[in-house]
């Protein structure tokens, strides 16, 4: 699994961090999502997929 974030689309809702805090974080200055781990483990895959689904801006992209 390879994860990317389109930071231009991100609306800083923080849903990705709630869903998968080991993979996503937010910049302090504006709340835009940042990727901590672009290659999450198999154990993190369910949470990462959930983060992509709940992202209101659909800014998270997953390549299997």
- For the chain, which residues make up each domain, given as ranges? 2-63
Closest residue by Cα to residue 45 from 17, 23, 12: 23
pLDDT reported for residue 32:
98
Task: Quote the pTM value.
Answer: 0.94
Q: Does domain 2-63 have CATH number 3.30.830.10?
A: no
pLDDT reported for residue 3:
98
pLDDT reported for residue 48:
98
The CA distances from residue 20 to 7, 9, 30, in Å, are 17, 19, 19
Q: What are 10-64's pLDDT values in tens digits? A: 999 999 999 999 999 999 999 999 999 999 999 999 999 999 999 999 999 999 9
pLDDT reported for residue 17:
98
CA 15 to chain centroid = 8
């Amino acid at each position: 699994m390879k994860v990317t974030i389109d930071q231009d689309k991100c609306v800083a809702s923080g849903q990705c961090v709630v869903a998968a805090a080991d993979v996503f974080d937010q910049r302090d200055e504006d709340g835009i999502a940042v990727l901590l781990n672009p290659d999450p483990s198999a154990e993190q895959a369910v949470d990462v997929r959930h983060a992509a689904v709940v992202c209101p801006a659909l800014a998270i992209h997953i390549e299997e």
